[in-house]
């Protein structure tokens, strides 16, 4: 499998978008490649070749994606190569992570309402409201996620 010129450009575009969501550059391009490639999986060599990157870089970035659960691999009988593919739960995982980012914020807000004096009630009020807002947001997201998990099984 070797990608064409148009696909190359598409991979760069998608890669840049993913970079903005905090993917390291090469990891972003690997994800992009796996999304664009037909069939939707690649061997290690196909990745190094198509992205013109070194084996070591690909190894590091790919393992990052594997550990993060964003990429997975399959194999074919009588072929010991691994065929890397985006995990179908990738997007769910990514959203899940965003939801999980909310809870540390809430912890901060709750800690502050505990430790701050009563001298600045307006500010304290604001912190309490923001905690409430985050709680609602967290809840709303969980509702969507749960519903989705149910329809999938």
Partner DNA sequence: AGTTTAGTTCATAAAAAACAGAACCTATTA
Partner DNA sequence: TAATAGGTTCTGTTTTTTATGAACTAAACT
Residues at the site binding DNA, with contacts judged by CB under 7 A? 24-27, 43-45, 52-57, 59-63, 78-82
CB of 5 to a copy of itself, least distance (A): 13
Q: Give the binding site for a copy of itself (CB under 8 A).
A: 10, 14, 17-18, 20-22, 35-36, 38-40, 88, 90-92, 94-95, 98, 101, 104-105, 107-108, 111-112, 115-117, 119-120, 123, 126-127, 130, 133-134, 136-137, 140-141, 143-145, 147-148
Q: Is the peptide bond before 39 cis (omega within 30 degrees of 0)?
A: yes
Measured from the CB atom, is 44 or 134 closer to DNA?
Answer: 44
Contact between 107 and 131 under an 8 Å Cβ cutoff? The reply is no
Judging by beta carbons within 10 Å of its beta carbon (0-12, 13-18, 19+), is residue 54 exposed, middle or buried? exposed
Pick one of a copy of itself, DNA, none as the site partner of residue 114 (Cβ within 5 to 8 A by kind). none
Contact between 43 and 79 under an 8 Å Cβ cutoff? The reply is no
CB of 8 to a copy of itself, least distance (A): 13
Query: What's the CA gap between 30 and 36, in Å, rounded?
Result: 10
């Amino acid at each position: 499998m070797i990608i064409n010129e148009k696909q190359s450009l598409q991979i760069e575009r998608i890669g840049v978008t993913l970079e903005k969501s905090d993917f390291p550059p090469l990891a972003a391009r690997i994800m992009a490649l796996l999304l664009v490639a037909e069939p939707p999986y690649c061997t290690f060599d196909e990745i190094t070749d198509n992205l013109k990157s070194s084996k070591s870089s690909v190894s590091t970035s790919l393992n990052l994606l594997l550990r993060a659960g964003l990429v997975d691999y399959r194999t074919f009988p009588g072929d010991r190569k691994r065929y890397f593919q985006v995990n179908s739960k990738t997007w769910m995982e990514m959203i899940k992570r965003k939801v999980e980012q909310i809870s540390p914020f809430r912890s901060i807000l709750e800690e502050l309402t505990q430790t701050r004096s009563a001298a600045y009630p307006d500010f304290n009020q604001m912190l309490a409201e923001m905690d409430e807002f985050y709680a609602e947001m967290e809840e709303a997201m969980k509702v969507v996620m749960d519903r989705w998990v149910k329809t999938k099984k």
